[in-house]
Amino acid sequence: MKSTDKAPAPTPEARAAWLRRVAADPDECAAYMASVQRNLLCVSADMSALAREIRVRLRGDHIEGDRFWDARWRARPVEGAMGDILEHFDALADALEKTARKRRAYAEKMHDIPEKRRARALARERKNNPALRPAPPLANPGNDPRLQSGGNAGYAASPSSLYDLGRESA
């Protein structure tokens, strides 16, 4: 094989395997998308230069009997199509950059999910099974009206109606 001969193109299976490997790694994915974006911007610059040359050429094509603006009007559809192509190149380059950012965010989110799930499970466990804390000791257990025996434990005197309970009890 001569040094001027091109290397054989990879098979579709090999290319698919390589793309699967790139898709699995966010850093490789971002690097690949940056490479594609660089190539796209290079092609976009070439297309921009081509659009300028087409504009000059088409606007310079005058036929006998043309008014001065006829060539410009005939060139408009071609110039518009080239402008659309350039807009699509710019949008595609922006979309590649946005996709690389979203791929990185997805990888970070996937990395954080197990920790968040553990924290949620721990919080749920604490909520469903709270730790039993002992009641605080009473300052003077002998005078506590709740511990007195009788039907009205908790009241200093028997209330005769609901209105006699006072603000504290209501």
CB 106 within 8 A of CB 114: no
What is the mean pLDDT of each successive set of 10 residues along the chain, which is 170 residues long?
A: 65 89 88 91 91 86 81 87 90 91 92 95 90 73 57 57 61
Q: What is the pLDDT of residue 70?
A: 85
Instruction: Name the token pair of 25.
Output: 């790694």
Q: What is the pLDDT of residue 49?
A: 93
From residue 155, give the alpha-carbon distance in Å to each of 112, 133, 136: 56, 27, 22
CA torsion angle for 81, 83, 87, 88 (degrees, to 10)?
Answer: 30
Record the pTM. 0.57
Q: What is the pLDDT of residue 112?
A: 94
Q: What is the pLDDT of residue 4?
A: 61
Residue 62's H or E segment, with its range, is none
Three-state DSSP at 123 gives: helix
Q: What are phi and psi of 136, to 5 degrees?
A: -65, 145
CB 9 within 8 A of CB 16: no
Q: What is the pLDDT of residue 150?
A: 53
DSSP label at residue 170: -
Q: Round to whole Å and give the CA distance between 148 and 145.
A: 5
Could you give the angle at the alpha carbon of 123 between the alpha carbons of 106 and 137, nearest 5°?
160
Task: Name residue 25's amino acid.
Answer: D
Residue 16's H or E segment, with its range, is helix 12-24
